[in-house]
Amino acid sequence: MQPFVAKINRFTLTLGVAMAFAAPAIAEDGEYGVLMKTLANPFWGAMSQGVEDGAKEAGVKYFLQAAESDQAAEPQLNLCNTMLERKPVAMITAAINSTNLLPCLKAAQDAGIKVVDLDGNLDQAVLDKEGIKITFRIGSDNVAAGGQGADYLVEKLGKDAKGPVLVIEGLSGNVTGQRRAQGFAARLKELAPGLEVVASLPGDWDRGKAASITNDILTRNPDLVGIFAANDGMALGAVEAVYAAGKGDQVTIIGVDGNSDAVKSIKDGRLNASVAQLPYLVGKQAVENVKKAIAGESITADIAVPTLVLTKDVLDAGKEPMLQYVK
């Protein structure tokens, strides 16, 4: 008997070590559940910082969890269901796609839990069909963010500028990336018809892939004048490829997010601009508005948090009041 017990002990000991990270959790009354896509990204990091500060100021308890990656659709659904076991009063969710959380959101609604769409990944038409009513939706207007990118490019090159432009999209099928790319392309057509989008390719949010795409297009269009990437990571990949090809002065590169890496690159004079979202503000306002909704106040169904074009001039001047929220 003894050796067997020793054997099991060794096993459980290791499990104990694996679980030593966990502190016993006790049910809190009136908790908010916050479910994010992933935390492995400064954008979501800033947003959870905003949630934390907002909750502190509002004096509410919350617990925040995230899936292991922004492609783990089913794990996120399972996580969402598990969070419901804790019976929160509200679920603030950033869904990985427009449908993966539907069963969980339905169950939350049936349990009388308020559901909030963080970052606008849910599709209103789908929600209507499923009979899910969300309390409100909060996030940046991604179409407008793409449009601001086009505004900046035209401002820099002039209305009559001519030349090929590359658009690097996000992950195929991701709504956020699609909206940004479409917003950019539509606005560019309107402002400067001479600037032609010669390619619009999915970079899968991946820095390396964006660099490869840039290389390929530079081979085809050596006179490229502009690149719009649907997020900063990809824009920075494009920057490296452009500078490696010795065309740093010829190509204007714009990203979206305003994350810390991009800010650093803009200050160094490499990346030209980033349309900064203010995830910190999104997280903070989400919590504040949930508190209001629970208190019975009526809330706007769609809360758009503004976006802000960061350039070297804007950053060096440091006068823009919104800059404090760029994390």
Interface with another protein, residue 91, by CB under 8 A: no
Where in 235-264 is the site for another protein (CB under 8 A)?
A: none
Gyration radius from the chain CA atoms: 22
The residue type of 301 is: A
Interacting residues of 254 by C-beta distance below 8 A, sequence separation 6+ = 149, 152, 153, 226, 227, 228, 229, 235, 272, 273, 274, 275
In the list 79, 161, 245, 322, the residue contacting another protein (rule: CB under 8 A) is 79
Interface with another protein, residue 134, by CB under 8 A: no
Task: Enter the tokens of residue 122.
Answer: 């849910």
Interface with another protein, residue 74, by CB under 8 A: yes
Residue range at the interface with another protein (CB under 8 A); choices 53-61, 64-72, 241-249, 312-320: 64-72
**Residue count, binding to another protein (CB under 8 A):** 58
Interface with another protein, residue 16, by CB under 8 A: yes
- From 268, 229, 296, 254, select the one nearest 89 (Cα to Cα): 296
Query: How many Å apart are CA 77 and CA 35, to the nearest integer?
Result: 10
Q: In terms of CB distance, is 16 or 193 closer to another protein?
A: 16
Q: In terms of CB distance, is 36 or 138 closer to another protein?
A: 36
Count of Cβ atoms closer than 10 Å to residue 325 Cβ: 20
Interface with another protein, residue 111, by CB under 8 A: no
Count of Cβ atoms closer than 10 Å to residue 251 Cβ: 23
In the list 23, 29, 296, 298, the residue contacting another protein (rule: CB under 8 A) is 23
In the list 30, 61, 110, 126, the residue contacting another protein (rule: CB under 8 A) is 126
Query: How many Å apart are CA 30 and CA 36, to the nearest integer?
Result: 19
The residue type of 279 is: P
Interface with another protein, residue 29, by CB under 8 A: no
Residues that bind another protein (CB under 8 A): 1-4, 6-8, 10-12, 14-19, 21-27, 39, 63-68, 71-75, 77-79, 81-83, 85-86, 97-103, 123, 126, 129-130, 171-173, 202
